[in-house]
Structure 1
Amino acid sequence: MLGAPHAWGMGLQQAGGVLKEVIHDFNQMVFWIIVVITIFVAALLGWCMWRYRAAVNPVPSQTSHNTILEVAWTVVPVLILIVIAIPSFRLIYFADQPREADLTINVQGRQWYWHYQYPDNGNFSFDSYPIADSDLQPGQLRNLAVDNPLVVPVGAAVRVITTGHDVIHSFFVPSLGVQKYTIPGRALETWFQADREGTFYGQCNQICGTNHWFMPIAVRAVPRAEYDAWVAQARTRFAQGQGPGWPAGDLPQAVASVAAPAPQN
């Protein structure tokens, strides 16, 4: 599966995990409630315009303070909001944290790239930089492909602990239904679960600086055996947190321009 926007796409991105499926269900419920309300209001306005037009109703009614009508247009919206609120609160609670996490990953947002740490697999860490346009390979997506994707096993509940290194960023992967701020000095928790093998893309959606748009996220979901093999290789490659994927002197110019720290106010 490829979790990414596509040309002429409508609606939400295809769900790649259980959390996004629940978000889809809630979105569909609210959408059809809005459709029914819109049709009802439009029909009511049309009926009033036709039934009470001046040609057939030259003497308008002076009726006011209709108790039944006032109670109805107060109670009905309240009931609609309750119908929306109950599943909304359930979704917020469900998305807050996993019951039994299979894996924990620390995510740190930096200007302007991501730093990942795997405390459950030897505590290795690495940086994830965007791939410049000039270095893109066939099949890689512009402004979304990265040198070192976040790798997770298919079907695993992944606890994500976010923090910020400099300013507020946002860890946002639409097809997995996960979004959490990375705030300096604070540790926040969320989770996701990729139920399909594939690559799921996201980006920081906070205005975190001049180049905040140049901060893509790639989550690669692989079978457990392939994940275990990747972990064994990653422990050596990223020993003692010696990422990123390129040595600093070999970074493409476009990446090097955004990797330098920005002055702080």
Structure 2
Amino acid sequence: MNTTWYPLSFLDSNSPLMEQLIFFHDHTMMILTLITILIFYNMMLIFFNKFLNRYLLQNHVLELVWTVSPTLTLVFIAFPSLKLLYLIDEMKTPLITLKTIGHQWYWSYQYTDFKDISFDSYLMNNNKLRLLDVDNRIILPFKTQIRNLVTAADVIHSWTIPSLGIKTDATPGRMNQLNIYMNQSGLYFGQCSEICGANHSFMPIMLESISLKMFINWVKNY
């Protein structure tokens, strides 16, 4: 029996947003690693020496250092985080608008720029793509600004595609907005990320990214 082991890490980035999320993760993990090493080193010094400092509790310089140092550390984490949050919310002029509606337990899609294009997307039994394949894929062009309007018809769902770095709640009576931009063609998979009932695990998302020319042909032939 052949067993393939995959490292526990992010999926390959397929959008500028996901690239920035991975950069921020690496930046934060570097800071946390340095803090962990420093604390471990200090703990080892305390365990393996017998020195005493009778002025430790009244050392104002030391108190200043252990107050200012965490503050500066949080600043180095907070500013890139805030920049990334605003980048996620930024919406440029979209070429295509997609409307996504969550149901128990399937997704509905409407291409609002094209009146006749709307369909439901249900789970398909596929041994190679277990719990990921659907009967109707989302077809969108890559290297194109796309707006996705997400809502729900019954309970709260969550529309997520990890390799694109996008996730938003589908809330009844509320329209949330996502910006989708894909670097290349391919198949991108996601699943509902909000527990929405008995068949929560059986409403996958499959997005097929194609060239703009092929997308225009698909619209004409739909």
TM class, shorter-length:
over 0.9
Q: Which moved more, 1:214-223 or 1:224-233?
A: 224-233
CA contact (8 A) 1:18 1:193 kept: yes
Higher relative contact order, structure no. (Cα contacts within 8 Å, ≥ 6 residues apart): 1
TM-score if structure 2 supplies the norm length? 0.93
Quickly say closer, same or farther: Cα 1:222–1:110, change in 2 above 3 A. Answer: same
Matched-pair identity in %: 34
Instruction: State the AA in 1 paired with 2:31.
Output: I
Please give the alpha-carbon distance, in whole angstroms, between the structure 1 residues aligned to 2:9 and 2:59: 41
Instruction: State the AA in 1 paired with 2:121.
Output: S
**Deviation at 1:7?**
4.9
* 1:11-57 CA-partner distances (Å, limit 9, x unpaired): 111101111111111111111111111111111111221223xxxx4
2:188 aligned counterpart, secondary structure: strand
Please give the alpha-carbon distance, in whole angstroms, between the structure 2 residues aligned to 1:143 and 1:116: 19
- Correspondences of 1:1-265 after superposition (within 5 Å): 7-52=5-50, 57=51, 61=54, 63-122=56-115, 124-132=117-125, 136=126, 140-234=128-222
Unaligned segments of structure 1, at least 5 residues: 1-5, 235-265
1:36 aligned counterpart, secondary structure: helix
**Deviation at 1:97?**
3.4
Please give the alpha-carbon distance, in whole angstroms, between the structure 1 residues aligned to 2:19 and 2:199: 32
CA contact (8 A) 1:16 1:176 kept: yes
* 1:200-234 CA-partner distances (Å, limit 9, x unpaired): 10101111101101110011100111111111222
Please give the alpha-carbon distance, in whole angstroms, between the structure 1 residues aligned to 2:162 and 2:5: 16
Instruction: State the AA in 2 paired with 1:102.
Output: L
Alignment RMSD, CA only? 1.7
Instruction: State the AA in 1 paired with 2:219.
Output: V
CA contact (8 A) 1:154 1:195 kept: yes
**Deviation at 1:122?**
3.2
Please give the alpha-carbon distance, in whole angstroms, between the structure 2 residues aligned to 1:16 and 1:166: 31
2:178 aligned counterpart, secondary structure: strand
Please give the alpha-carbon distance, in whole angstroms, between the structure 2 residues aligned to 1:68 and 1:169: 52
Instruction: State the AA in 2 paired with 1:49.
Output: F
TM-score if structure 1 supplies the norm length? 0.78
* 1:237-256 CA-partner distances (Å, limit 9, x unpaired): xxxxxxxxxxxxxxxxxxxx
**Deviation at 1:98?**
2.1
**Deviation at 1:176?**
0.4
**Deviation at 1:143?**
0.3
Unaligned segments of structure 2, at least 5 residues: none
**Deviation at 1:125?**
1.0
CA contact (8 A) 1:97 1:189 kept: no
CA contact (8 A) 1:97 1:190 kept: no
Please give the alpha-carbon distance, in whole angstroms, between the structure 2 residues aligned to 1:165 and 1:155: 31
